[in-house]
Amino acid sequence: MEPIMWLILLACFLVVEAITVGLTTIWFAGGALVAAIASGLGAGILIQWVLFLIVSLALLIFTRPMAVRYMNKGVPKTNVNSLIGERAVVIQKINNLEQTGQVRINDIEWMARTSSDEVTIPEHAIVTIEDVQGVKLIVKEETEGK
């Protein structure tokens, strides 16, 4: 009777995964499958639960990062995240202490700051966008070698 319970649990995890497609329960389906096999081979209920937990956690910890990377491969960044790594032109001197600085990218003007208060970037310089914090772009001046 126990293998059937594990197989029902496996089916439930697979149905939830099919509905959500979020890589949330597939790992536990693997654990339920291993527990069902162990049950079919005559393992005790404690061994079945231990196997279920160990296999589920191992799959979750070791394979989820790879699966998420694979599933997100080729997904274009959208909105403001697409700006990170892009180049922009400084249209107002960037000085964190004076709270000044603007850049233009894709014909849109953005407030800009540097990651350090000691760094200022002159007007007309080319910068690379490193991060976005609220409505401000965090930028770094490109060196002459690029």
Where are the domains positioned within the chain? 3-72, 80-141
pLDDT band at 67 (very low <50, low <70, confident <90, very high): confident
pLDDT band at 77 (very low <50, low <70, confident <90, very high): low
* Mean pLDDT over each residue of the chain, to the nearest integer: 88
Q: Please tell me the distance from the alpha carbon of residue 89 to that of residue 136, in angstroms, as a whole number.
A: 15
Q: pLDDT tens digits for 30-44?
A: 999 999 999 999 999
Q: Please tell me the distance from the alpha carbon of residue 107 to that of residue 80, in angstroms, as a whole number.
A: 14
Q: pLDDT tens digits for 16-29?
A: 988 987 777 888 99
Q: Please tell me the distance from the alpha carbon of residue 60 to that of residue 112, in angstroms, as a whole number.
A: 39
Long-range contacts of 138-145 (CB under 8 A, 24+ apart): 138/112, 138/113, 138/114, 139/88, 139/90, 139/94, 139/103, 139/112, 139/113, 139/114, 140/114, 140/115, 142/87
Q: Strands 87-95 and 126-133: what pairing?
A: antiparallel
Structural domain 80-141, CATH architecture: Beta Barrel (2.40)
